[in-house]
Amino acid sequence: MPELPEVETVRRGLLPAMEGRLIERAEVRRTGLRFPFPEGMAERLAGARVASLRRRSKYILVDLSTGETLLIHLGMSGRVLVSGTMLGEFHQPHPAPERHDHVVLEMEGGARVTFNDARRFGAMDLMPTASAEDHWLLRGIGPEPLGNAFDETLLTARLAGRNTPVKAALLDQRLVAGLGNIYVCEVLHRAGIDPRRKAGRIASARVATLVPIIREVLGEAIEAGGSSLRDYRQTDGELGYFQHAFRVYGREGAPCPTPGCTGTIARIVQSGRSTFFCPRCQR
């Protein structure tokens, strides 16, 4: 499932085609994906101007001039692709329609925004902009890891007393928004923390080191356009490249890349998810 860097990359890719522009026509080709689409979604989108595009955790929020916000969640295999725009000196033509193109937005200026989702685990919804944070998918989500509200004091307080493994704690969206399996594995390796350690048993000084490392890993991943393992694509259809910089994720049996470490990357299962780490240098 796309995590924060992938969703942020998609949001940034949509900005030139959507922000400040009118949705001239909206085509909705099915009644819903993971959840039913809101009633009259095509009619409510058509004629609206996009005021801004935001991201909250793993959700893209498109604020409209009508006072509503379009929520987009990519799910497992969702892609938001932009065509009909200029790439340098070259025009990117509209591709032929595909079977899993479920929602198509024709934008002012000639761009087309297509939501494609083969497995149909994605979601779209419309909600009042003024109360968007109260939407049932967003309510209760923790602070953004790249925002000012997320700091060493907050993380230390939220991990204190927790009897769950630190990896599971960091995946809890109520604690911090947007972190998923890939990036938590990468963060814990850089921090030298064993993912099996009880969150509440880690010294506060070590917890404090997680905050800059989380920001570092996410920043590098966004700069690389995210990680493409299966379905994820950027808005121009290109792959992300951060998977080539993975230190542990998906590298079971490979030598640990930590300088001076002679360990081998191992894989275990925690809460039904694969965890990759170095048993020698992560303690």
Is residue 234's pLDDT more than 50? yes
DSSP state of 36: B
Tokens of 45: 């989108």
Domain assignment present for 95: yes
Residues 128 and 182 in one domain: no
Burial environment of residue 25 by CB neighbours within 10 A (0 to 12, 13 to 18, 19 or more)? middle
Residues 17 and 118 in one domain: yes
The CATH code of the domain that includes 10 is 3.20.190.10
Q: Residue 233: pLDDT band by 50, 70, 90 thresholds? A: confident
C-beta atoms surrounding 120 within 10 Å:
16
114-133 tens-digit pLDDT: 999 999 999 999 999 999 99
Q: Which of 80, 101, 134 is the last residue of a domain?
A: 134
pLDDT for 84 equals 86
Work out how many domains the chain is built from and give that number. Answer: 2
Residues 185 and 81 in one domain: no
Q: What is the helix, strand, coil percentage profile of the chain, to 5?
A: 30, 25, 45
Domain assignment present for 145: no
pLDDT for 89 equals 46
Residues 93 and 156 in one domain: no
Is residue 5's pLDDT more than 80? yes
Residues 25 and 109 in one domain: yes
For range 143-171, the mean pLDDT: 96
Residues 12 and 92 in one domain: yes
More confident residue, 141 or 232: 141
48-84 tens-digit pLDDT: 999 999 999 999 999 999 999 999 999 988 999 999 8
Q: Which of 134, 163, 187 is the last residue of a domain?
A: 134
174-228 tens-digit pLDDT: 999 999 999 999 999 999 999 999 999 999 999 999 999 999 999 999 999 888 7
Residues 31 and 123 in one domain: yes
pTM, 2 dp: 0.92
Q: Which residue segment(s) compose the domain that 212 sits in?
A: 152-247
Q: Residue 87: pLDDT band by 50, 70, 90 thresholds? A: low
Is residue 88's pLDDT more than 60? no
- Tell me if 275 sits within 8 A of 269, measured CB to CB: yes
Domain assignment present for 241: yes
Residues 21 and 130 in one domain: yes
Q: Which of 108, 134, 160 is the last residue of a domain?
A: 134
Is residue 1's pLDDT more than 80? no
The CATH code of the domain that includes 237 is 1.10.8.50
Domain assignment present for 31: yes
C-beta atoms surrounding 98 within 10 Å:
12
C-beta atoms surrounding 241 within 10 Å:
15
User: Which residues are marked as active site?
Assistant: 2-3, 58, 273
pLDDT for 86 equals 52
Is residue 242's pLDDT more than 90? no
For range 32-52, the mean pLDDT: 97
pLDDT for 220 equals 95
Domain assignment present for 225: yes
Tokens of 197: 């350690």
Is residue 260's pLDDT more than 60? yes
